[in-house]
């Protein structure tokens, strides 16, 4: 059933005018997302980094390169909003902390996440990338740690796959948990291939 109420273009215009977190955003507001009503795959991330804030293109960085490799898609497929929607928990760059980017602003998910999700009625597959995304998507179903949640991926498949963050800073985690790329990545790629429209797949 198609959602009723506000249209997607109206909602997106409201999102892009949002100023709720202005006092807390060092580079100012610039919501970065990709939403098409017909999307069948949803990537839920955490929040844009500084490079993505600068370009306005979601996952336009080394993390995005690795994420696309995990999914087995090229940039053309990844940035086709009729196939893949990209909705971070926090839509604007939150700034830097002592050990990396700050967490997504809590106001953002409260204001926008569920309203935007409701405009994606055809989503069959969701990737929850990183701990903040898993908290938002899985809620009470997530485990005590990110590692435990990702290791339990079979409990959430085939509709949801929890993933570690693909940042280069996360290379030690990937090295310690080789089962992730050996066991989980082939499964999620196969699921993407089954859902993506013919001619828009890019296996690696």
All domains of the chain in start order, with CATH: 8-195 (3.40.470.10)
Per-residue pLDDT band for 100 (boundaries 50, 70, 90) equals confident
What's phi and psi for 161, nearest 5 deg? -125, 115
* pLDDT at position 99: 81
158-170 pLDDT, tens digit each: 999 999 999 999 9
Give the pair of three-digit tokens for residue 26.
């060092």
Cα 4-6-8 angle, rounded to 5 deg? 100
Q: 155: which DSSP letter?
A: G
pLDDT surpasses 70 at 88: yes
32-67 pLDDT, tens digit each: 999 999 999 999 999 999 999 999 999 999 999 999
In the chain, at which residue ranges do the beta strands (DSSP E only) sit? 41-44, 84-86, 96-97, 100-101, 125-129, 160-163
* pLDDT at position 190: 97
Distant-in-sequence, close-in-space partners of 75: CB < 8 Å, separation ≥ 6 = 68
128-152 pLDDT, tens digit each: 999 999 999 999 999 999 999 999 9
* pLDDT at position 6: 79
Helices marked H in 17-169: 50-55, 62-71, 75-78, 106-108, 114-117, 131-138, 146-151
* pLDDT at position 98: 86
Per-residue pLDDT band for 201 (boundaries 50, 70, 90) equals very low
């Amino acid at each position: 059933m198609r959602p009723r109420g506000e249209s997607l273009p109206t909602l997106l215009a409201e999102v892009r005018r949002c100023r709720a977190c202005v006092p807390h955003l060092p580079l100012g507001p610039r919501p970065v997302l990709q939403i098409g009503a017909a999307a069948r795959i949803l990537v839920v991330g955490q929040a844009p980094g500084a490079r993505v804030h600068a370009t306005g293109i979601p996952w336009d960085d080394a993390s995005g390169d690795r994420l696309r490799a995990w999914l087995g898609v090229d940039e053309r497929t990844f940035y086709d909003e009729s196939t893949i929607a990209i909705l971070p928990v926090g839509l604007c760059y939150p700034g830097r902390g002592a050990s990396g980017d700050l967490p997504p602003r809590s106001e953002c998910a409260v204001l926008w996440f569920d309203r935007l999700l409701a405009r994606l009625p055809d989503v069959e597959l969701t990737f929850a990338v990183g701990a903040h995304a898993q908290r938002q998507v899985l809620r009470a179903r997530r485990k005590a740690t990110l590692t435990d949640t990702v290791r339990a991926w079979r409990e959430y498949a085939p509709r949801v796959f929890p993933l570690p963050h693909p940042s280069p800073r996360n290379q030690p985690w990937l090295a310690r948990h080789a089962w992730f790329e050996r066991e989980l990545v082939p499964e999620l790629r196969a699921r993407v291939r089954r859902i993506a429209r013919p001619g828009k797949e890019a296996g690696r």
